[in-house]
Structure 1
Amino acid sequence: MSDDHSSSNSSRSWLDRLSQAFSGDPKNKEDLMQIMREAETRKVIDSDALSLIEGAMQVTDMQVREIMIPRAQMSVVKANQSPQEYTSEIIESAHSRYPVIGESRDEVIGILLAKDLLVLSLNSELNKSKVQDILRPAWFIPESKRLNQLLKEFKENRNHMAIVVDEYGGVAGLVTIEDVLEQIVGEIEDEHDFDEEGQIKCTGDNQYIVKALTTIEEFNEYFSTALNEEEFDTIGGLVLKQFGRLPKRGESVTFNGLQVTILNADNRQIRLMQIQRAA
């Protein structure tokens, strides 16, 4: 029997097993993923397809609070500002949508699309009153909403941004359709990520990896520090203030006896940091 014939029989045999597994319903998601990983090992599907399947299955178990941009890191526009006061920030941050707030971040009165400002500018109508007229309605969702349901609603209502509220009705952060899609197709981990449920991991030599969403209360308790908990909810928000801008990966800042190096960040938020006590 030729090698080609043996290989063909092997492939058919494996596909038969795969069909039987699906027809018999895997007992849980892990069983299903084990089948898919074996399919990838046997070259029935490629690694990219496997990553997409894993990402798509992952979002069914995730809630908005796990991926949202926290309120302290939200790029916002204040309703009482003139466009001339914030256009330079919009150009620098390069986001396409901005929550417009009233007296505080809990008062989101609408969403401003950067492209709408261009139209006003071209028509020589770039003023506060005209900006108020072009605001899009803000869409509010709970922290507990599951990502697969959110993605479905994004597609149905054609929104690209949602304002996330906590159980008391206060603004907890925001989430975009890009944030959800990143969980499926994007690089959601790097060499510094860790799987533990905790937010802080000691890596030895007085160095720690800290998730930006770690609350300042938890950070203070872990490191026996006394960082101010009033202005920001998370350590990422406090670090962002120290830089005065969104830092890039590899940049460092030192404050309160701590040296902070950014390990993972994009053009919207800080994700992961390395913390070392300054000498």
Structure 2
Amino acid sequence: MISDPPSSQKGAEPSFLQRLTASLFHEPASDAHEQFVSALRAAKTNGVLSDDALFMIEGVLKISELSASDIMVPRSQIKAIDISEPQDKWLREANQSGHSRFPVIEGDFSDVKGLLHAKDLLTALLHPDYRLEEHLREAKFIPETMPLNLLLKEFKREHQHLALVVDEFGEVTGLLTIEDVLEQIVGDIDDEFDTVDIDAGNIVSESRGRWKIRAITHLTQFNQYFGADITDPHCETIGGIIADRLERVPRPGDQLTIDGFRFKVLRADDRQAKVLLVERAPKAASDKGAQA
């Protein structure tokens, strides 16, 4: 008499793979997703997956649920080259930004001429008679509703790194790079142009009366540096208190004033703020909520 394998015996606990298969094929879509994530987290607890592997798998699942409008850089924060301005002005601004690709406009975003690569800026700098318009690459436009997983496929297929996001009327509302999408999977990607230096104590003077700080800066460190007295019984970091006052995850462009300091969120992901711009607010200013 041939007995069944131990895993199929009555009362035997299903294996990780059995639970994973059941979550994918034998549950309604919403329940299947929850069961799948629970199985992955159990696998991490049991040592089958590392923390990093779980983080990235959850990121892959997440990008199929997010659209371009969820993570795009708002139009007001796009670093573009405006060829209606003097060349020395936009060359200087482009150099200071540290970006490798720029949308090129004439006047405003209603007239997008194309994209320019940073290496072309060097040529323009060395040759004053260089005609920028003759070396532009075609700009890629995507709808605000485009899922990130489809966008990532298009970036790969078309060898593109940047796309301009448009609304239903064709107006540019934001910008996305392939790095922005990948950060949803692997976490924040810092490069040599990221200006906030952790060795500087998380706080870097940007200009007179303006500083860039990491959102993970502890309230004690912030208070000591600025001679401030910001406290919160529920938060330990500046990013935490920003999220607490907003009552949601901060987004790039969010602004609010706390105890005489004006904060603007420069970088954030769907979990937390990353980098903030800080300046002292006028004495008459009081605490404010997020601004559109």
User: Normalising by the residue count of structure 2, what TM-score does the alignment of the two structures yield?
Assistant: 0.63
Partner residue, 1:243: none
1:109 offset after TM fit, Å?
1.1
| Highest RCO, 1 vs 2 (Cα 8 Å, sep ≥ 6) | 1
RMSD: 4.0
Paired residues for 1:160-199 under 5 Å: 160-187=161-188, 192=239
Q: 1:259 to 1:101 in 2, by over 3 A?
A: farther
Paired residues for 1:251-270 under 5 Å: 251-255=278-282, 257-258=284-285
Q: Distance in 2 between matches of 1:193 and 1:157?
A: 39
1:202–1:209 Cα contact (<8 Å) kept: no
1:79 offset after TM fit, Å?
1.9
Q: 1:253 to 1:65 in 2, by over 3 A?
A: farther
SS in 1 for 2:131: helix
Q: 1:202 to 1:210 in 2, by over 3 A?
A: same
Runs of 5+ unmatched residues, structure 1? 1-8, 220-234, 240-247, 261-273
1:275 offset after TM fit, Å?
6.1
Partner residue, 2:68: 64
Q: 1:88 to 1:49 in 2, by over 3 A?
A: same
Q: 1:167 to 1:181 in 2, by over 3 A?
A: same
Q: Distance in 1 between matches of 2:177 and 2:249?
A: 26
Question: Which stretch of structure 1 is more off in the superposition, 108-117 or 17-26?
Answer: 17-26
Residue identity opposite 1:202 in structure 2: R
1:24 offset after TM fit, Å?
2.9
Q: 1:114 to 1:253 in 2, by over 3 A?
A: farther
Q: Distance in 2 between matches of 1:255 and 1:162?
A: 38
Q: Say which of 121, 124, 127 aligns to 1:125.
A: 127
> Identity over aligned residues, as a percent?
33
Paired residues for 1:243-258 under 5 Å: 249=276, 251-255=278-282, 257-258=284-285
Deviation readout 1:37-65 (Å, 9 max, x if unpaired): 00000111100000000111100000100
Runs of 5+ unmatched residues, structure 2? 1-5, 7-11, 190-214, 217-236, 257-262, 267-274
Aligned residues: 219
Q: 1:132 to 1:18 in 2, by over 3 A?
A: same
Q: Distance in 1 between matches of 2:124 and 2:252?
A: 37
Q: Say which of 75, 94, 103 aligns to 2:79.
A: 75
